[in-house]
Amino acid sequence: MAVQASPKTGFEKWQEGINGALDDARWSSWDCEIQMAVNEYNRHLSGVAGYTSLDWQLIKAMVWVETGAENSQWMTKPMQIGVVGDPGMSSLLSGNEGGDLILSTEWKARLTPITVRTNPAHNIRAGIGYLLMKAGNYEYRSVPNADARVYQVTVKPGDSFDKIARSQGITVEILKQLNPGSMVLRPGQVLKYQKASMQRVITNWRNLSTNMVAQRYNGGGDPNYAKKLDYALSLIRKGKAAVCIK
């Protein structure tokens, strides 16, 4: 009696669909756009809290996992950000979660919900932006304004560091730094201050491993996501990238 083969798993079926990708030019059609977008982000974030340059091939692997050349959305939403039910696009574009620190001024003005959903170049940039936003660690810190002049303010009855900071458009942290010997305020006392505000800043970055991408970009929706990324990356690194005009 013949032994029936075990049915193929979802991952194995996915592997079969992607094994011929290196010999199919369609699967490399976004190479130049991905490289351009990654280079833009790398230039924009260079030096920010120890930022490490992003590997464009990781993004290509994400595109292969998210859609792939056989997917109907390959030509519009290759990174799947902005699809129905996905909160990533609104999280990035709102600026409430750090997207304002990740996107350059140019792309803040250009990316809109409509373009992200219909323009593949914008979808790729939004997807990369969302990934980097989720890779960052953030804190609110006292940030000096561009005006670096030192001003003076006279303490009035009832004043506190917090009250003076609010009235002068500064922060308690900067006020105390400039007046280290003034822990107790007295009316008539003159304090130095510089303009500053509390702002969200990037303090450091998570390591962009395939597991991290699976957890923070995919959100755990596909239990094989990291495994698929590893497999796609192994194929991509064996192939040749498209020749892009710089």
Cα 6 from chain centroid (whole Å): 41
Which tokens go with 183? 């822990």
The pLDDT value recorded for residue 81 is 96
The pLDDT value recorded for residue 2 is 55
Q: Are 202 and 135 in contact (CB under 8 A)?
A: no
The pLDDT value recorded for residue 5 is 62
Question: What is the tens place of the pLDDT at every residue in 225-237?
Answer: 999 999 999 999 9
Looking at the DSSP assignment, which residues form a beta bridge with residue 205? 136
- What's the whole-model pTM score? 0.85
Question: What is the tens place of the pLDDT at every residue in 10-20?
Answer: 888 899 989 98
DSSP the chain: -PPPPPPPPHHHHHHHHHTTGGG-GGGGTTHHHHHHHHHHHHHHHTTSTT--PPPHHHHHHHHHHHT-TTSTTTTT-TT-TT-TT--HHHHHHH-TTSHHHHS-HHHHHH--HHHHHH-HHHHHHHHHHHHHHHHEEEEEEEEE-S----EEEE--TT--HHHHHHHHT--HHHHHHH-TT-SS--TT-EEEE--EEEEEEEEEE----HHHHIIIIITTSSTTHHHHHHHHHHHHTTS-PPP---
DSSP 145-160: -S----EEEE--TT--
The pLDDT value recorded for residue 112 is 97
Question: What is the tens place of the pLDDT at every residue in 167-178?
Answer: 888 889 889 999
Alpha-carbon span 54 to 48, nearest angstrom: 13
| Domains of the chain from N-terminus onward | 24-137+206-236 (1.10.530), 148-194 (3.10.350.10)
Average pLDDT estimate for 52-72: 96
pLDDT at 1 exceeding the cut of 70:
no
- Which residue is listed with tokens 């400039």? 178
Alpha-carbon span 214 to 26, nearest angstrom: 24
Average pLDDT estimate for 130-159: 92
- Burial class from Cβ neighbours inside 10 Å (0-12, 13-18, 19+) for residue 50 reads exposed
- Which residue is listed with tokens 């561009």? 146
